[in-house]
Structure formats: structure tokens, C-alpha cells
Homo-oligomer: A and B are copies of this chain.
Amino acid sequence: MADVPNLTPLPEPGRIEVVALEGIPEIRPGDDLPQIIVSALRATPDAFPPRDDDVLVVTQKIVSKAEGASVELDTVEPRPEAIEFAERWDRDARQVEVVLREARRVVRMANGVLITETAHGFVCANGGVDASNVGPDSGSIVTLLPEDPDASAGRVRAAVAEASGIDVPVIVSDSFGRPWRCGIVDVAIGVSGLEPLQDLRGEPDHDGRVMRSTVRAIADELASAAELTFGKRAGRPVALVRGAAFRRGEGSIRDVLMPAEFDLFR
């Protein structure tokens, strides 16, 4: 079959473990997050050196904080559209303004919900602009998504490899809502060192039938698994997922973005 990629079968684990790293302090702009994560790996029992079936998952919030991807709301002058939307739906007009500035395209703006496509191509509520959990004295600061989350992941990966000699793939994760389903789940917004999609098309399933349309969003599942250990209140923003089957490669989160011509929900 011409359209079936010839891929090495993945290992099949049966058992994984997710370990949140210990000792990550409050992150501030300019902090060397990759080195902080290396220190946290060393501080977490059994985490250093990492294993070659580990994947590191790092939450967007600390990446954005370290990179200074944030905006002081006091400096923001909202446009009339932002003021109108904010007044109607009891939101902060300055935050709405930041979301609109970060947007390449507004997908929906209704019911108090603002769904945009960011410059990266992510479609999500509020363009990833987030007011909660940005630090004790940060009433008027919102975080933005990192400018290049793949590169952010790559810097963590490089620091871990240098410290340990192990090439650990890294995922930057964020919490996204979904159409038709309530609640948020963590997904990948940046990757380094693994393919975020596992194309199983053409691999036979265990009955020997050929699976024609199974592309597994493995990076998103790894991000969700990691989230189960984070704990909103305890503030554990990084976890190791051990033992999962993944395919190494220089994948990009862009691989996960639905091309416009296949997008039925623009």
C-alpha cells in the first residue's frame, strides 16, 4: 500500500509511572528554568539520571514566567471592542485586549467566551492568556504563551542531556478546553525530541487487521498523564513520564495543528 509508512513498531509498555519533580521554586522572569529543572531532577528520588524511556513534561506557566512572556495589565489600553465584550460578560477589558493582540484570528467571541487562533496556530480559549497562578504579587499580570514552545522544550532537553548524558524528550503543556465537552485537559503546546503524533496507519492491530486511520496524539496523552501528578495547589509544575512508548525524532508541535483545509470548525 503506497500510503502506508514503513515504521518500526513501537515497544509496548503495559506499565508506566508518572513522577512529579520536587523542589521547583516560584519561577521569576530571567530564571534559568532548564537548570532549575536539572536541579529538581537531582532532588527527586529515582529521577536522576533519567531513564531512556522518560519524557519530561513542563507546564507552560513556568516556561512563560521564566521567559518573561507576561504583560502588566496596567500598561494595556483596551480597544472599544474589548471594553464592550468585557462589560457585557463581566471580564477584565485589559485582559480581553491582550487576548486580541495575541490573536491571529478570532474563532468565536460569544457567551463571554473568547476563542482565538494564536500566532503559533493554537486554537484555544483566551489565546492561552492566563491570569491565575502567576505569583503572589501579580494581581495585574497575565502570562502569554511562550513565543516558541518547541524551542523552550529544546532548551530544557539540552540542559538535561548535558547534565545527565541522557536525551530526554520534553513536552511543554497547557490546559485547553474542548468543544462539546466540559472541563479542561492538559495538551502539548511544544515538543522536542519526540514525534507528537504516532502514525499507526498501516500497522496491523492484534487481530491482523490494518488500521487505516489511527493517528495517536501521544504528546497530548503524555501531557494529560503528567497533569494527574501536578496538583493545582501544591504547585508541582514538572513531571517525568516513565515507560511510555514514543518515537524519537525532531518533531514539532506544528505537526499537531490541523491544516486549515481539514478544519471543519473555523
Contact = CB atoms under 8 A, between A and B. Distances in A.
Interface of A: 9-10, 12-20, 22, 108, 110-111, 113, 115, 122-123, 132-136, 138, 175, 178-187, 196-198, 200, 203-209, 211-212, 214-218, 220-222, 224-225, 227-229, 231-236, 241, 244-245, 255-258, 261-265
Contacts of A113: 262, 264
Given A20-B15, A181-B256, A229-B15, A264 B108 contact: yes
A197 to B, nearest CB: 5
Contacts of A19: 14-15
A256 B225 contact: no
A245 B262 contact: no
Nearest to A260: B180
17 contacts: A12-B236, A13-B231, A15-B20, A16-B18, A132-B205, A136-B207, A179-B258, A179-B263, A183-B198, A183-B215, A183-B256, A184-B216, A203-B232, A205-B232, A206-B234, A224-B224, A225-B228
Contacts of A115: 264
B183 A204 contact: no
A184 B204 CA distance: 17
Contacts of A234: 12, 14, 206
B225 A255 contact: no
Most buried by B among A18, A222, A235, A244: A18
Given A185-B217, A225-B221, A180 B265 contact: yes
B220 A235 contact: no
A211 B131 CA distance: 9
A265 B205 contact: no
Most buried by B among A136, A178, A198, A212: A178
Contacts of A212: 132
Given A16-B229, A184-B217, A222-B228, 10 more contacts: A13-B228, A14-B20, A16-B18, A16-B228, A134-B207, A185-B216, A205-B232, A206-B234, A216-B227, A224-B224
Contacts of A132: 205, 209, 211-212, 214
A260 to B, nearest CB: 10
Contacts of A135: 207
A142 to B, nearest CB: 12
A218 B232 CA distance: 13
B16 A181 contact: no
Contact of A181 (B22, B181, B257): B257
Contacts of A200: 232
